[in-house]
Amino acid sequence: MTLATAKIRVYILIFFAFLFYPIFTVLAFLRLRDDGRKKNPRILIIPQFTRIGDLICATPIFREIKKKYPNSYLAVVVTPKIAGIIKNNPRIDEIIIFEDRDYLEFFGLCRLFKKIRDEKFDWSICVSADTMGTILSVYGLIPNRIKIIRQERNFSEILSDWMNNFLIYYKNGEYIPQLYLKTIKFFGIESDDIKKEVFTSKVGDEKAEKFLKEKNINTNDLVIGIGATAGNKIKEWPMERFKKLAKRLTEVYKAKIIFIDPKDFSLEEFPSLMKRLNLFIAADSGPIHIAHALNVPLIDIIGPVDPADQAPQCEKCVIIKPSETIKPTIFAMRPAGDEKETRRAVESISTDMVYKAVKSLL
């Protein structure tokens, strides 16, 4: 089945949700649990399904919910592609997998709806702002539905956003981790603690130690990790510039350089390697947020990405931006701009600019 056919299916699901909305609403509220609903809520978090950075930006709400309601049941629905990064998160009671075929196949979606219904959630929080969050919540018969609404919505969102009964309106340029924290005010939680969380595993730690040993890297070495790839290739800084930078750092600082290869470590294992780095340098991508969550000094070659959206904020974080004459073209909750301008933003960042940033941290 093509993606276009899948999108048509989404509109069909919206139509039936609209047609039978009164029935869905009654059935959802009949399922409300009277015992301990306020003290021990069952909550489903629906983040962006494929972006590591967005998921990590949502981790503060996992922590704050569990601090306020330690006996609550917290589930997160994600695709297999990014599930590994939250597998070891102790705040999460269950990870519900949204397979690609669930989106493309009718019976796959039905199985997912049934899974969510069987869990009898009291609340859903859709931080991704997309249509599928609403569909999962309505067909999953979740009575209390919180959703972030963006200004520049697509047609399916316009048709379906009203089906959520608690809304948070995103303002262009709003810092995403703080925006996410607004969703939990409906639980009586007021927090501005945007500290992200990523956890490691024993297996990952053992693998990282073995990997460094094989590279003849010990605890006294200056270890710098370089992430040359990004989920969106249009954001990637040229490889030849990374190589030039690595050579310079090796000569000047005697640094041990590790070019991060996703094939070496699974997403679940990767944080164990990351936390052993003295510095991480990469184009704006999921691993940048992993480094930030683990307090690893970092240099984010942000290029065309709007720094107001999600850029890490800390004393050990340096954001490398193009000149002010080059405007951002990639946003967290807005359509992307011109691809030529995107590449111009990336290409405008020189090796010297990044080297000076490294020097300022070291």
- pLDDT score recorded for residue 36: 45
Report d(CA 74, CA 68) in Å as an integer. Answer: 12
Are the CB atoms for 291 and 283 separated by under 8 Å?
no
My answer on whether 214 and 78 are in the same domain is: no
My answer on whether 234 and 357 are in the same domain is: yes
Q: Which range of residues forms the domain containing residue 210?
A: 202-361
**End position of a domain, from candidates 187, 217, 249:** 187
Residue 190 half-sphere exposure, CB side, CA atoms within 13 Å? 0
User: Minimal CA–CA distance to 330: which of 290, 285, 297?
Assistant: 285
- In-domain check, residue 192: no
For 142, the enclosing helix (H) or strand (E) is: none
- In-domain check, residue 36: yes
SS (H, E, C) 191-258: CCCCCCCCCCCHHHHHHHHHHHHHCCCCCCCCEEEEECCCCCHHHCCCHHHHHHHHHHHHHHHCCEEE
My answer on whether 53 and 171 are in the same domain is: yes
**End position of a domain, from candidates 187, 216, 233:** 187
User: Minimal CA–CA distance to 164: which of 120, 115, 125?
Assistant: 125
- In-domain check, residue 103: yes
Which CATH number is 107's domain given?
Answer: 3.40.50.2000
My answer on whether 180 and 56 are in the same domain is: yes
pLDDT in tens, 87-133: 999 999 999 998 866 555 667 788 899 999 999 999 999 999 899 99
- pLDDT score recorded for residue 193: 96
My answer on whether 171 and 212 are in the same domain is: no
Residue 52 half-sphere exposure, CB side, CA atoms within 13 Å? 23
My answer on whether 268 and 181 are in the same domain is: no
My answer on whether 274 and 355 are in the same domain is: yes
My answer on whether 215 and 304 are in the same domain is: yes
Q: Count structural domains, the chain.
A: 2
- In-domain check, residue 135: yes
**End position of a domain, from candidates 159, 187, 215:** 187
My answer on whether 108 and 247 are in the same domain is: no
- In-domain check, residue 165: yes
Report d(CA 149, CA 162) in Å as an integer. Answer: 10
Are the CB atoms for 55 and 180 separated by under 8 Å?
no
Task: Profile the chain (362 residues) by mean pLDDT over runs of 10 residues.
Answer: 72 90 90 64 93 96 96 95 96 91 69 93 94 94 95 91 95 93 93 96 96 94 94 90 97 96 93 97 94 97 92 93 90 88 92 95 89
- pLDDT score recorded for residue 107: 74
- Overall size of the chain counted in residues: 362
- pLDDT score recorded for residue 278: 97
Report d(CA 197, CA 293) in Å as an integer. Answer: 5
My answer on whether 124 and 212 are in the same domain is: no
- Report CA 284 to chain centroid distance, whole Å: 12
Dihedral angle sign, alpha carbons of residues 207, 210, 215, 219? positive
Are the CB atoms for 77 and 136 separated by under 8 Å?
yes
**Helix, strand, coil shares of the chain as percentages rounded to 5?**
45, 15, 40
Q: DSSP 3-state assignment of 171?
A: coil
My answer on whether 47 and 176 are in the same domain is: yes
- In-domain check, residue 260: yes
Residue 256 half-sphere exposure, CB side, CA atoms within 13 Å? 15
Are the CB atoms for 41 and 123 separated by under 8 Å?
yes
- In-domain check, residue 302: yes
My answer on whether 222 and 153 are in the same domain is: no
- In-domain check, residue 276: yes
Are the CB atoms for 311 and 333 separated by under 8 Å?
no
